[in-house]
Amino acid sequence: MSQDYAVFCGLDVGKEAQHATALTPDGERVFDAPMPQGEAELRELFTDLSEHGSVLVIVDQPNTIGALPVAVARETGCEVAYLPGLAMRRMANLHPGTAKTDARDAYVIADAGRVMPHALRPVDVGEEALAELTVLVGFDDDLAAEATRLTNRIRGLLTQVHPALERVLGPKVGQKATLALLAKFGGPEGFKQAGKRRLLTVARKANPRGAEELVEAIWIALGEQTVVVPGMKAADQVLPKLAASLTDTLDQRAQIAAQVEEVLDAHLPHSLSTGTPLLAGVLTSMPGVGVRSAARILLEVGDGSTFPTSGHLAAYAGLAPVTRRSGTSIKGEFPARSGNKHLKRAFFLSAFAALRADPISRAYYDKKRAQGKKHNAALICLARRRCDVLHAMLRNGAYYDPPAQAA
């Protein structure tokens, strides 16, 4: 991103209207007015500003309602940057006044580009695949939240009417055989009326592997409770609907994962900057990083070129500890409560998945647990270590190469 701009245009974008403020490098306002959210008006503004020289358009939201201004700015030959909301609010405190208006926000955005360019983030250029991934991954996040809600609802209902049955089905509620049984027979009363043979037939049809063990455990659990708890009849009517909804949600997540993989393979085969390494392959070659995690990491950090070191990447993800010290008072280091929550979750989940997929990750996790760290703390340490490896992989365009095991 060049530093020689004739105009810095800050846009406080909105759904129907937005405010634009354009400043010269000396701070002179060449434009300051509200305008509708429309292509013609934006094109006219950027064209007029381009008469002064090169223009840097700065938005506070690069996606959703900010997608149109970004697209029009690029088409008119303007460069585009993004000012994160937290940084904008902190910079607003440096300006006089406490009012919260669109005009003031647009001025703060433009002035930030003029005097504090290091606070800006680049907006990935011309990648239709990134827009596709944003929509797909966002919808997958919604489906994941819905799946969690339905799972908790099923387990809570089973706990209410038959705790012993919940202890058997609860940990396996997302499996095909369990969902098929719940959808077909409902709850405890439906299971008893169906009989062991019918349960086994349905479970085998859904998933032959482990069907006998599952049905046997269900039958034993049913025998542990003879009393009929109030609400059991209603539970038998509600559980099939919940199971059907959860099955549909999980099927949609599987379809979205396949679409995400197609986008990664078809449209993002290379690094966003150099065009040489297989970016999708680099990300997924690391144990524990699946299609969803790779897509999320790609959306948040791209090819990693904006992070000089792995420490910068870890700090951005909220994985680096925060030091608190003032004079002679040393309070130590504490887990960060800031950072990109989506990226942090992707690193955390991939580290958790690596405990089974990667012996090296497992050994490091066990080492941290032996040092007295709890499960989550040890996982954060593992995620931080993997952040170093992933940054090196993106920087060098190299696939994951596990270190040689000591003899």
pLDDT, tens digit, for every residue of 295-349? 888 888 877 888 889 999 998 898 887 776 666 665 666 667 778 888 999 999 9
Q: Kindly give, in sequence order, each residue whose CB lies less than 8 Å from that of residue 16, ignoring residues fewer than 6 positions away.
A: 36, 37
| pLDDT at residue 271, as a whole number | 47
* C-alpha distance across the termini of the chain, in Å: 49
Q: Kindly give, in sequence order, each residue whose CB lies less than 8 Å from that of residue 222, ignoring residues fewer than 6 positions away.
A: 162, 164, 165, 188, 191, 192
Indicate whether 1 belongs to any domain: no
Same domain? 390 vs 290: yes
| pLDDT at residue 406, as a whole number | 39
3-state secondary structure of 396: helix
Which has the closest alpha carbon to 199: 77, 190, 2? 190
Indicate whether 186 belongs to any domain: yes
Which has the closest alpha carbon to 389: 304, 306, 298? 304
Same domain? 115 vs 141: no
- What angle do helix axes 85-92 and 102-115 make, rounded to 10 degrees? 100
Same domain? 140 vs 225: yes
The length of the chain in residues reads 407
Number of domains within the chain: 3
Query: Per-residue pLDDT tens for 46-71?
Result: 999 999 999 999 998 877 788 889 88
Which residues constitute the domain of residue 33? 7-123
* Out of 119-128, 260-269, 311-320, least confident range: 119-128
Same domain? 208 vs 241: yes
Q: Average pLDDT over the chain, rounded to whole?
A: 87
Query: For 270, what's the count of Cα atoms within 13 Å in the CB-facing half-sphere?
Result: 6
Please state, as a whole number, how many other Cβ atoms lie within 10 Å of the Cβ of residue 374.
10
Residue 247: band (very low, low, confident or very high) from pLDDT cuts 50, 70, 90? very high
**Does 402 score more than 60 pLDDT?**
yes
Indicate whether 264 belongs to any domain: no
**Does 114 score more than 70 pLDDT?**
yes
Please state, as a whole number, how many other Cβ atoms lie within 10 Å of the Cβ of residue 273.
14
Same domain? 385 vs 341: yes
Same domain? 234 vs 279: no
Same domain? 251 vs 303: no
Please give the structure tokens belonging to residue 334.
Answer: 């504490």
Q: How far does Cα 126 stand from its chain's mean position?
A: 22
**Residue whose pair of structure tokens reads 């349905």 in the numeric block:** 202
Q: What are phi and psi of 130, to 5 degrees?
A: -65, -40
* 333, containing H or E segment: strand 329-334
User: Which of residues 330 and 153 earns the better pLDDT score?
Assistant: 153
**Does 189 score more than 90 pLDDT?**
yes
Indicate whether 263 belongs to any domain: no
| pLDDT at residue 300, as a whole number | 85
Q: What are phi and psi of 362, to 5 degrees?
A: -65, -40
Whether the model clears a pTM of 0.75, i.e. scores above it, the answer is no
